[in-house]
């Protein structure tokens, strides 16, 4: 038997160790709903729980404040926000909230003008805080403000993937198209993943998706690409779990919506990696750059 050089063995072992300790590629996915009642926050919470159930490290970035945000939905006490971090009153780690469902929540609501005004030294400092906090995260799920509100969600501009939530109502379809049009025509987003909420069958989801796709093709042509990724059924147990401050996977693991979230998590785990995905730090730089772009747009 031919002897294997010690140097070669060491090289192989060193490469294996580097792979083990290297930063995990982190995928950022924004969830975009309408102007109210779209269920986006509920979807974000339960998707995070489903991915965590698959042994993935997940952080839910919450762009909302007040009683309707993810922290309040999960009955967590939120003492600090991103503004406190930017004023150096607390560290970013002080704002992170841990849930019993296996994922964490990071409040990240801040005005675009504040983020865009960070100088390079401040950006480097904030990036180091963010890297330390998210170095092992595999998914960043972004519960974003709807584009129908003032300005464009900075998180959507920074994300690797844009997921648009739509249901079977005229207002929801209008808002979904408005989101796609705005992000596509003004900010060069090309690919959109569509999740249909509150329907009973994949056939019904397909009909709603085709209506949205038809309108987008009529007015935007081939400028954007859309793909149906699944649906979440209308489920009374999902509503009940939300009122209890729990995920439906925890409260009612055999509910139809629980199965739907698990199936969607499995689909997401099979998505191709974006070409520009590196680590979570890259997301923060994109977020600040997106804030600067948004601030410029709002001045015109």
User: Which H or E run contains 161?
Assistant: strand 161-166
Between helices 280-299 and 120-134, what is the axis angle to 10°? 140
Mind listing the pLDDT tens digit for each residue in 49-71? 999 999 999 999 998 888 889 99
Cα 268 from Cα 242, distance rounded (Å):
23
What are the start-end ranges of the H helices in the chain?
6-21, 40-53, 70-73, 82-86, 112-116, 120-134, 154-158, 170-187, 202-220, 236-243, 248-251, 256-269, 280-299
102: left (phi over 0), alpha (psi -120 to 50) or beta: left
Summary mean pLDDT of the chain = 86
pLDDT tens column, 225-243 = 999 999 999 999 999 999 9
**Mean pLDDT of the 162-171 span:** 94
CB atoms within 10 A of CB 254: 8
Predicted pLDDT of residue 6: 42
Q: Give the closest residue to 279 by CA, choosing from 75, 105, 126, 139.
A: 139
Classified as helix, coil or strand, 291 is helix
Task: Tell me 64's DSSP state.
Answer: -
Q: Say yes or no to pLDDT of 42 above 90.
A: yes
Quote the percentage of the chain above a pLDDT of 70: 84
pLDDT class of 23 with cuts at 50, 70, 90: low
d(CA 29, CA 164): 10
Rounded to 5°, angle at Cα 142 from 235 and 239: 15
Q: 155-176: string of b/e by CB count within 10 Å (b at 16+)?
A: bbbbbbbbbbbbbbeeebbbbb
d(CA 175, CA 161): 18
Query: Is 70:143 a contact under the CB 8 Å cutoff?
Result: yes
Beta carbons of 80 and 74 less than 8 angstroms apart:
no
* Contact by Cβ (8 Å): 250, 88: no
Q: What predicted TM-score, i.e. pTM, was given to this entire model?
A: 0.87
The SS3 assignment for 92 reads: helix
Give per-residue pLDDT as tens, 246-286.
Answer: 999 999 999 999 999 999 999 999 999 877 654 566 778 78
The pLDDT, as a whole number, for residue 195 is 98
């Amino acid at each position: 038997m031919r002897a294997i050089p010690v140097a070669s063995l060491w090289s192989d072992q060193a490469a294996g160790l580097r792979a083990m300790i290297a930063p995990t590629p982190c995928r950022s996915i924004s969830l975009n709903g309408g102007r109210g009642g779209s269920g986006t926050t509920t979807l974000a919470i339960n998707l995070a729980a489903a991915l965590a159930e698959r042994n993935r490290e997940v952080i839910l970035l919450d762009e909302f404040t007040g009683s309707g945000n993810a922290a309040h939905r999960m009955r967590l006490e939120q003492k600090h926000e991103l503004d406190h971090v930017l004023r150096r009153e607390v560290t970013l780690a002080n704002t992170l909230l841990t849930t019993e469902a296996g994922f964490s929540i990071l409040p990240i609501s801040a005005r675009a003008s504040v983020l865009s005004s960070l100088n390079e030294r401040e950006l480097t400092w904030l990036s180091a805080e963010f890297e330390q906090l998210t170095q092992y995260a595999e998914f960043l799920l972004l519960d974003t403000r709807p584009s129908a509100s003032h300005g464009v969600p900075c998180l959507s501009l920074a994300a690797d993937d844009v997921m648009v939530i739509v249901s079977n109502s005229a207002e929801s379809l209008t808002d979904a198209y408005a989101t796609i049009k705005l992000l596509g025509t003004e900010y060069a987003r090309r690919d959109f993943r569509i999740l249909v909420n509150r329907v009973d069958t994949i056939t019904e989801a397909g009909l709603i998706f085709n209506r949205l796709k038809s309108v987008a093709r009529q007015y935007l042509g081939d400028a954007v690409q859309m793909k149906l990724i699944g649906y979440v059924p209308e489920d009374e147990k999902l509503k009940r779990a939300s009122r209890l401050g729990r995920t439906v996977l925890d409260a009612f693991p055999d509910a139809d919506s629980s199965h739907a979230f698990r199936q969607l998590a499995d689909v997401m785990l099979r998505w191709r990696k974006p070409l520009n995905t590196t680590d979570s730090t890259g997301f923060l730089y994109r977020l600040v750059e997106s804030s600067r772009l948004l601030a410029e747009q709002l001045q015109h």
